[in-house]
Every structure is written in C-alpha cells, then in structure tokens.
Structure 1
Amino acid sequence: MANTTFQFDLTLNNFFIPAGGKYPIFFFGLLIYLFCVFCNATLLLLIITKPNLHKPMYMILFSLPLNDLIGINAMLPKVLSDIVTESNRVSYPLCVLQGFLLHLYGGGVLFILAAMSFDRYVAICMPLHYTTMMTAKAITCIISLVWGLDLALVTLLFSLQSRLPKCRSVIMNVFCDNPSLLKLTCGNTFLNNIIGLFNTAVFQAISVSVQGFSYVKILITFMVTRRSETKNKAINTCVAQLVIFVMFEIVATFTILSHRFQNVSPDLQKIMGMLIFLVPPLLNPIVYGLYTHEIRSTLLQIWNIKVDVNA
C-alpha cells in the first residue's frame, strides 16, 4: 500500500463504552480538562502579573504549567471529541503532530524539573552567589537549553518516521504516539527503536543525575546548617519538586508495566497511558500551591482583596 493512502485516513482503537456511559464519561473528562486548564493558566498568569514572583525560580517554573498545557491540550480534547461523536478517525499529519507534542511534553517534564532542582541547589547551597549566578542571562540560557534539547531529541525521533513505508492504518491506542506510529510500518524499525531508547536514556540520565546531585547537596546542607530559615526554604521549595518528579515516574512506570503483561486489558492500558498526560497537569499546580509559600500567599492575597471588594 502506498504512503499516500495514510495521509487522511487513520483509525484509532477507542475505548469500549457501555450503553449510557458516553455522556457521563464525556462530562467527567471535560471537568478534569477545564480544571487542569484553569489551574495551570492561573499559575502562568500569577507569574506574569505579580512582581513578587519575578524571580529566577518562578521564571523557570513558568515552563512547567506551560508544558502541562501542551500535554493535556494535545491529548484530552481529541479523546473527548471521539467519545461524544463516536468517531475514531484521524488524519495522518494530525496524528504525527499529536504524537510529537505528547513526546515533547514528556521530555519537557523531566528537563524542567532538572532545571528547577539546579536553581534550588544554587539558592540553598550557595546563597551568597545566587544573585551573581542566576542572572537573567543565565536563566535565559537554562530555559533555552531545556526547550532546545527537548525539541531536538523529539524532532530527531519523529523525523525518522517519514522514511518508513506504511502498510497499516490502525493506531492501537486512543491517541497517537511514536510506538503506535511505528506499528503502522512494514519496514525495518531497528534504527527508530535505537533512537527511541537513546532519547529515553538521555531524558532520564540528565534529569535523574541533575536532580540526584542537587537534592543530595541540599540534604547535606539541610543536615549541617543551624539556620532555621535555610531549613524551611529547603523543605518548602524542594518537597513540591520531589513530589512532582516521583509522581511522574510512578505513573510512567505503571504505564510501561501495563504493556508488559498479557493479562492486562487493552482499555486499562489505554487509561494508564492517558494518566501520564492527566495526573501531572492536574496535580502540579495544586502541589505548588500547597508547598510554595509565595504562590500560596499571593493567591490568598488576591482572594482576600476580592472578598473585600464584594463586601
């Protein structure tokens, strides 16, 4: 079959939805989507509009809700639309674009958390040098490196898709990703698999090594310092990042494991795959709202002002 037959006609393997369950599932998913968008957009607006958040830590943090919005908007609206319209068709270009954005989101989570942990390492372990090290130029370089490296690795991965002949038209998932797209081909995918493993290794190695180094150094500083202010800063700013990183790794691990056991139902595998793009955008702004004092106090201040105005 020629590649041109796949330019406008791919079939997604959607969920099995029992009779009467279509609209309850749709509205529940819509509520989750709207809540995620509202919380992450609120965090973005706070960082943009509030001068007390115009600091290096929050300039790097700005990338996290932005990345979460990319992930959830690339995945959930299409899934909800297919549920309510009972459609399972997607054009090949849109399928590739969705997969590209979802992989960009996954790599972005790891790199952004690594950058944030380095910022906390400098702030807590070298407080006297923080203002000279974390300048506007340095922050720009860090953010550019995070997004540039993420974009380069994902572009490399998806650029190899175009060289392969396609002989299938069914995506064995409710959304498009690189493994699903590879299953469409009847060519040799050895190089694609190697690049995929290489990308995974690079994402994990950089993220884990930077965060491991940073948090070990922070822990040592936490244990030897006698200043309660330093200890409180270490707890309040690092716990949120560690919670988000562990949460993301747990969800990703369960997703990978669900595809390694034959007795796991296909619908459960699809749900586990979706959790990677649902759980972090859902919980990240809540975690930062609870553990980051400046964000929490800024939100409470806005709420108090609104209450006074209404009064």
Structure 2
Amino acid sequence: MAWQPNDTVFPPFFYLESLDIPPSQAYAAIIMATLTYCFIIAGNMTIILCITLNRSLHKPMYLMLLNLLVNDLIGATLFFPQLISGIALEDRSVYCASCVLQAMMVHVYAGGDYVILTAMAYDRFLAICRPLRYGVMMSRANLLKVVLAIVVTDLAVVSPLYCLLARLRLCGNSITDMYCNNASLLKLACGDTAVNNYYGIFVAAFLQGMSLIAVIFTYVQILVACLANKQSDTKSKALRTCGTHLTVFLVFQVTTMFKVLAHRFNQVSPYLRRAAGVSIFLLPPIVNPLIYGLNTKEIRNIVIHFFTKKKMTNFDR
C-alpha cells in the first residue's frame, strides 16, 4: 500500500518485500524456518550452558565466546520470528517503531560480532605471545572493562546512523528487503542523503577495517611466536585454537561484506541480495557453535560427557 508523505516524517507502517512463496509451499517454508531457528537456539544454548555451568570454562576466551553466541542468538531472533509470522499470516507490514528498532538492532548485532571477534583475537595474542602477562592483563576486572568497551563502542558507532536518519522525511513505505535495515530505510528518503551515506560507509569501513587490521596484526604475531616455539604440543594447540577463531571471523567477514556490496550496487539480482541479507542471520549463528563445539576440546568433552551421562541415566531407569 502506497503512503503519501504529509506532516509526519515517518509512515505509521512499513511493508517489507514480498517473499513470493506460493500458498502450496507456505507450510513447508514455515516448518523449514522454524526448524532452522530451533536448531540455532539449541546449538548456541548448548555451548552457552556449557560455559555458564562449568567453572573450568570461566576463562576470558570462553567468556568472550559466550558474548559472541548470545549476540548471535539476538541476531537470529531479530529475523526468524518475523519471517515465520510473515509467512504464516501472509502479512509483511510492520509498525514504524518496530521497523526502526529492528534496523538499529541489526546494526548493533553486526557491529557487536566484529568488536567481539576483534577482542577475541587480542585475547589469543596475549595468551600466546605474552603468556607471563596474560593473567594480569586479562583479569576479571579487565575482562569486565573489555565487555563494557565492546558494548559502548558498538552503540557509539551505530547510534549516529539513526540520529542522521531521523532528520530525513521519507517518501515511501515499501522496503526492498526481507527485514528493516538502515540502507533500505535510506532509499525511501526524499532529501539529500549524502551525509548518511558517507557515515554509513565510515561505519562499515571502521568496523570491518578495524577488525581486519587487528586480526592480521595479531595473527602475524601469533604465527611468528608459534614458529619460534619448539614444543610441538603447545604449537599445535595454539594453531588449532587460532584456526577456530580465524574460521569464524572469515565467515562473518565474507557474509557482511557480501551484504554491504549487495545494497551498494543496484545491478545486483534481488535474489542474490536476499541471499546476502539472510546469510548474516543464518551462517554465523549456525557455524559458530558448530566450529567451537567440535574444534574446542574442552567444550567438546563437556558436551559429550553431558549427553553420555544423560543417556546412561535414562538407560539405568
């Protein structure tokens, strides 16, 4: 439904892009989306509970991983419930306030993952290259400061995007995306959006560039330290731990870059743009718990022990 601009800056409703799902396939789509969301919740909550309930995992690396998985759950929750209800009710309308809140939280989620992954790279750098100072530099007090710095940095970078958006008048209410985000809302603006575009590019460059530079720097230092270490067991463990983090970082870096580029170029196919948009809510929340759960020995052993013990308990009954 078209909306004609009047004295209000924002329309009362926004209409998200149609999913183009035939009625005959609606139930299958609902089941698939629901199972995917449940799988994401189960996978992330399993690792979160492992870390929370086991004091042996109350270490800086695992506590930062806990923050990463909670952030991924938030990201998935921003997308899947709305997707499922939209298919079930055949209604793609969303209240203005809900749309703007979702758009802001999407940026907070993406920015949060970048900042957390950067902090995790720094943690690995200290643990491997500065082991004698690690206990002091990553004490509980300092870890709390790191977590607060992550939250403050994320909000401080993302909030101006929506302060700049609030000054613009929108001339439409049809969002060309499967969920609300800053880029799609900005396309509806009537006035000059140059400042918004420049700051949006700065945010993407800052978050992605900062994390990429930090990860390259820390991993070059880690690689040099591992090559200089003559103890094969220590070297193998360090490389395995860093390989896990690097895989997670690359998955998120590629998916978000794909998403940013898909919105910047109008020639991109709408189906490709949809795939890029969905990937940031799908791949990291699925991949992260799988990679850390399977590749981190401490977590893997706790998960196996938990399910083995539960199975034996049920068998004894």
TM-score by length of 1: 0.95
Output one character per residue of 1:233-284: Cα deviation in whole Å (capped at 9) or x when no partner.
2122111111111111222333344456666532332122111111100110
CA RMSD of aligned residues (A): 1.6
Structure-2 separation of matches of 1:241 and 1:165: 42
The superposition leaves residues 103-161 of structure 1 with CA deviations (integer Å, 9 ceiling, x where unpaired) of 11111111111100111111111212211221011111111111110011111111111
Asked if 1:123 corresponds to 2:127, the answer is: yes
Map of 1:49-88 to 2, 5 A cutoff?
A: 49-88=53-92
| Preserved contact between residue 115 and residue 211 of structure 2 (Cα < 8 Å) | yes
Cα distance in 1 between the residues matched to 2:7 and 2:171: 8
Percent identity over paired residues: 39
CA distance in structure 2 between the partners assigned to 1:205 and 1:302 by the alignment:
40
The one-letter code sitting in structure 2 at the alignment partner of 1:74 is L
Alignment: residue pair count: 311
| Counterpart residue type for residue 33 of structure 2 | G
Aligned match for 2:200, one of 196, 200, 219: 196
Residue of structure 2 aligned with 1:307, choices 297, 303, 311? 311
Q: For residue 22 of structure 1, give the secondary structure of its aligned residue in structure 2.
A: helix
Report runs of 4+ in structure 1 exceeding 3 Å deviation.
3-7, 253-265
Q: Is the 8 A contact 2:208 2:253 kept in 1?
A: no
The one-letter code of the counterpart of 1:217 is Q
Greater displacement, 113-122 / 39-48: 39-48
Equivalent in the alignment of 2:143: 139
User: Secondary structure of the residue that 2:15 maps to in structure 1?
Assistant: strand
Please give the alpha-carbon distance, in whole angstroms, between the structure 1 residues aligned to 2:79 and 2:7: 25
* Distance (whole Å) between structure 2 residues aligned to residue 34 and residue 257 of structure 1: 30
Contact 2:10 2:169 in 1 (8 A): no
Matches of 1:182 and 1:254, distance apart in 2: 19
Report the CA distance between 1:302 and its aligned residue: 1.0
Query: Structure 1, residues 43-84: CA drift from partner, whole Å, max 9, x if none?
Result: 221111111111111111111011101111011211121112
Q: Which residue of 2 aligns with 1:273?
A: 277
Structure 1 residue ranges without an equivalent (≥5): none
The answer for the alignment partner of 2:16 in structure 1 is 12
Q: Classify the secondary structure of the residue corresponding to 2:24.
A: coil
Structure 1 83/5 Cα, relative in aligned 2: closer, same or farther at 3 Å?
farther
Distance 1:185 1:264, change over 3 A: closer
Please, which of 103, 109, 114 is the counterpart of residue 118 of structure 2? 114
Per the normalisation by structure 2, the TM-score is 0.93
Q: Which whole-Å CA distance do the structure 1 matches of 2:169 and 2:262 have between them?
A: 29
1:86-97 aligned at under 5 Å gives the runs: 86-97=90-101
Q: Which runs of 5+ in 2 are unaligned?
A: none
Say whether the 8 Å CA contact 1:236–1:293 is kept in structure 2.
no
Give the drift of 1:26. Answer: 1.4
Relative distance call for 1:69 and 1:89 in structure 2 (3 A) is: same
Q: Which residue does the alignment assign to 2:174? A: 170
